[in-house]
A and B are shown apart, each in its own frame.
Chain A
């Protein structure tokens, strides 16, 4: 199993550009989520999904869109990038057989918006 994979590893965007951060897992996990990691702020939940076709907002959803058309994939879209979105983004997943809150994290995507 590859676990949770994220692409790209690094990305530089200009203000106003759009892009999609990819996240995939091969563990047949129902629950997937996106976090952003900022110095002094810890990890903050952006969006999450409890299964294909079902998504919900987390703590900091503004400026981000998600969809979940398959169990495996949970892409995060930035429609119009802003410098405030410069961060490291982590995707995580958890299956129903996994103890609650034991989430498996991807390696992260480091995004810089200039």
Chain B
């Protein structure tokens, strides 16, 4: 069954510390993975997608098919990074793509 697991409900770090938000997936096909972010009192928005191999706001994520992981990393956390982060797996059904979300991880960056 397709599944996304984010093992940490809460990750608390100090400003300037490295951050790694974990994401593991289960998918039988070729996965498409994404990170979405929800800042306080704002709507959910796409942060980055694995296929574009981009760095957004200093965050990167590498797809590791061997470990079925897509961890989100940032070398130096900033207070404005505090938010809820969701890892999501794209599931194709016919011509439609649906997203399967993980449980979410709250990142708290302390001053």
Contacts and interface: CB of A to CB of B under 8 A. Distances in A.
B86 A42 contact: yes
Q: Size band of the A side of the interface?
A: 20 to 34
Interface string A71-114: 00000000000000000001010100001111101111000000
Interface in B77-111: 86, 88, 90, 95-104
B74 interface: no
Interface residues of B, number: 24
A105 B44 contact: yes
Contacts of B103: 40-42
A42 B101 contact: yes
- A contacts with B: majority SS: strand
Contact of B102 (A42, A58, A101): A42
Contacts of B86: 42-43
A105 B103 CA distance: 17
Q: For B6, B86, B88, B98, which residue has the most chain A Cβ atoms within 10 angstroms? A: B98
Contacts of B101: 35, 42-44
Nearest to B4: A42
Contacts of B46: 102-103
10 contacts: A31-B96, A33-B98, A42-B103, A44-B101, A92-B44, A101-B88, A101-B97, A102-B46, A102-B49, A107-B42
A45 interface: yes
Nearest to A91: B43
